[in-house]
Every structure is written in structure tokens, then in C-alpha cells.
Amino acid sequence: MIYVVKSNDTLFKIAERFKTTVPSILDANIICNPDFIAEGEPLLIPDDISKSDIPKAGAGPFYITRPGDTLDCIANQVGMSTELLAIINNIQNSNVLYSGNELLTTGLYYDNPEDLKRLWETTPGDDCFINGIADHGIYYLGSFQWLAYGEASIQPLLELLANPCEDVRLNAIISLGRLALNGKVLKALIPFTKNEDYISDFAKIAIRRIGLKSMGLDRVHITMNNSYLSTESDTIEVPKGSEIVVLKWFVPNLEEEGPRGGYQVYDYVQIVNTGQTGFFPRAGDAAITFI
């Protein structure tokens, strides 16, 4: 189950309340400093030993740093080397880690951006068909690979904007929005906003995301479709194009079935224009639906 931390809670008190143990809670959540849990923070409370293979709540594809965190601890919790975590997040000094930063926790699966570009170009058939497995494994997950490569991703992605397959162009636009670096990007994206098709909406969202990052608002993301927010007392509609800040990534609800079976995954977010906080659902395969 998911429990939202209350005032004066400790891990020991929570463990006693739900007849579990502090080590079990630590095994289910990414917590580097057991003495620090924040009021309002959702925790996954383990209740079934058979579900011990569920990834820890708190990270994927990003992690929000907290007081008491170290890069070594975060890397260990997400199954990554400290060196790689520092490289993909452009951290120059691994001994200095500021609370409230959003760290990418997706590793590098290809040697360089050009290898990923070739994979994106060669995956569609002659009819531009991309099956669901490839769409998720190559394009959705690949969008975070581009983010890990940083500025080296810009030129390959700009070239992919000219791909004959619409879905490749769409995923390149989404990836540029996730990367949120300017350079030649805005000039390349603006023509897509003038089309009367669904891709134009994504291009506009990507441009907005780049603008937010240029103002230092790195943690503000923009929703790509209509969705909802579950609060303790209500369900609130969240229209496409809403700005959100993720307070905790990857919160699995093991008691609720997801869109494609398995369990439903949420992110705990705050809506920027209203200040409301709650659980924002992920799509199938635990895919986030915002840039």
C-alpha cells in the first residue's frame, strides 16, 4: 500500500502501525537517510514477500535529491555506478550534492548518440510501422538516452526531424523537449508548430519546456495529454499542457492494476498553477506522459 507521511512520523512508528519492519520499508523505498522522512511524502509499505522484486519507489527515470543523500548511496539504490550517475547528470564534484535536484537515473545502453540515431532510423519498416515493444523499448526509453548524452544529442535529433516516418519525427520532438537545450533547436521546431496535425501540439510543448529550462525551471514538466490527479479527497482533471513539478518519482500502487496489467505506477506531483498535490498516473509499461 501507499502511505503518505504525517507530522511527527518516523520509520519506526510507521513500521509498527502497519506491522512491518524498518528494514522492509527501506527495501521498498529509496531512502539514504532513515532519520529524514518528509511530511507529505508517499512511501510504499511492503505487505507481500512475493512482491519483493518490485523496483524501489522513488526513482525512474529521475530521482529528487533529499537532505542526507550522497551520490554513492543514490547510485547504489538505483543500480548504477557513481561515476556513470555523475557523468549523465554533469556533476563535476561527486562529494557535493544539493537537495532538490532532479537526477537522471537511466543508464547508457549505446556507445554513442550516432548508434542510437541509426537504431531509430532502421527500426521502422518500409511502411513506417513500429510495434508496441519497439515503441517503448527503443523510442520511449531512448528519449532518456538522448538526455544522458546531453548536448551531443542535439545534432542527431535535429537530423531525425527530417525522417520520413511520422512517429520517428514525433519521438525526436519529445526527446528535444526532454533535453530542453536550445542551440538550433527552437529554429528547427517552430515549423512543426504551424502544421495542423497532432505533432504541432508536441512541438509547442517542447518549445515551452525549453523556455522553462532557460529560466532555471528545470523541474517543471508539461503534460502531453489529458489526465487526472488523485488527492486524498478528490480526483482532479489535469488538461494537456499543464505544468507540473514531480515531488517523488515512481510510486507503484501494488493494489491497483495498470493499463496493461501488472500494477499501476504513479508519480507524486504538484500542479504549478493551483498548488494541488497528488498522484499522477503513468501509462502502460510505466511510461510517463509529460515532457
What's the predicted TM-score (pTM) here? 0.94
Cell of 86: 555523475
Q: Using one digit for the tens of pLDDT, what is the confidence trace for 196-255? A: 788 999 999 999 999 999 999 999 999 999 999 999 889 999 999 999 999 999 999 988
Is residue 55 pLDDT above 80, yes or no? yes
Q: Using one digit for the tens of pLDDT, what is the confidence trace for 21-50? A: 999 999 999 999 999 999 999 999 987 544
Q: How far is 47 from 51, CA to CA, in rounded Å?
A: 8
Q: What is the secondary structure of 58-115 as a DSSP string?
A: BBSSEEE--TT--HHHHHHHHT--HHHHHHHTT-S-TT---TT-EEE-----SSSHHH
| Grid-cell match 526513482, residue found | 59
Q: Read off the amino acid at residue 36.
A: F
pLDDT recorded at residue 117? 97
Q: How far is 219 from 212, CA to CA, in rounded Å?
A: 9
- What residues have CB less than 8 Å from 87, skipping those under 6 apart? none
Find out whether 193 and 187 touch, Cβ atoms under 8 Å: no
pLDDT recorded at residue 51? 56
Long-range contacts of 153-159 (CB under 8 A, 24+ apart): 153/113, 153/179, 154/179, 154/181, 154/183, 154/184, 154/185, 156/113, 156/114, 156/116, 156/117, 157/117, 158/184, 158/185, 158/188, 159/117
Q: What is the secondary structure of 222-236 as a DSSP string?
A: EBSS-EEEE-SS-EE
**Looking at the domain 2-104, which fold is it?**
Membrane-bound Lytic Murein Transglycosylase D; Chain A (3.10.350)
Domain boundaries, the chain: 2-104, 113-214, 237-286
